[in-house]
Structure 1
Amino acid sequence: MRSANSAIRALAHVVAGVLVVWIFLDLLDANRANTVVDWFHTAADWLAGWSRGLFNVSDHTVQVLLDYGIPAVVYTAIGNLIARRTAA
C-alpha cells in the first residue's frame, strides 16, 4: 500500500511541477516557438483548463499565477489527501 501512496503523491507533484514550470516559462517570456516551451504550455493549459479565467485581473503576472497556481495547489492537496486516505 505504501507504494500506491508514493505513486499518488508523486503524480500529484509531477502535475503541479508542470504547472509551476509553465508559470516560470511564461513569466520569463520564453520563446513559445520552442518545442519544449510549447509542450509545457499545452500541458499546463490542459491541466488548468478548469481554472483559467476564474479570476480576471489586469496584471499579467497575477493572472498567470492565479490561472496556473491555483490548480497546482489543488492538485497537490488532493493528491496528498488521497494518498493519506488510502494509507489508513
Structure 2
Amino acid sequence: MSRRYGGNPAATVILIVADIAALILILWIAFYLFKANPANNLVDWVHDSANWLAGWSRDLFTVDSANWRTVLNFGLPAVVYLLIGHAVAGRVNHS
C-alpha cells in the first residue's frame, strides 16, 4: 500500500484509517440490509462503531424506507471518509 503513495508512511496511515472507517460503515449497511443477528458480538460492535462514525450524518436523510435511510445515512459518511482520506493522503504524499 505504501507504494501507492510513494512510500510516505504518513500518507499510508491516513489512507488505511479512511479505508477502515468506510469499511465499517459499509459493513453495517450490509449487515442491516441482510438482517444480521443484532445479538452477535461482531454485528453489535460494527453497529456501535458505525453509529459513532456516522454521528454527524445521523438522520440527515428521512426517506420512508428504512433500508434506503440506512444506505443514505451511513453511505454518505463512507464516501466522505474515502474522498477526504484519499485527498489528504495524496496531499501529504506530495508535500
Match of 1:69 in 2: 75
Q: Does 1:9 align with 2:15?
A: yes
Q: Flag the structure with larger Rg.
A: 2
RMSD, aligned α-carbons:
1.0
- Return structure 1 stretches of 4+ with deviation > 3 angstroms: none
Structure 2 counterpart SS, 1:53:
coil
Extract unaligned runs of 5+ from structure 2: 1-6
Match of 1:34 in 2: 40
Q: Using the alignment, how far apart are the partners of 2:31 and 2:65 within structure 1? A: 17
Deviation at 1:61, TM superposition (A): 1.4
Deviation at 1:7, TM superposition (A): 1.2
Structure 1 counterpart SS, 2:85:
helix
1:27-77: CA deviations, max 9, x gaps? Answer: 111111111110000000000011010010001111011110000000011
**TM-score normalized by the length of structure 1:** 0.95
Q: Does 1:53 align with 2:59?
A: yes
Q: Percent identity?
A: 43
Q: Does 1:82 align with 2:83?
A: no
Q: Using the alignment, how far apart are the partners of 2:70 and 2:61 within structure 1? A: 10
Extract unaligned runs of 5+ from structure 1: none
Q: Using the alignment, how far apart are the partners of 1:10 and 1:43 within structure 2? A: 16
> Match for 1:75: what amino acid?
Y
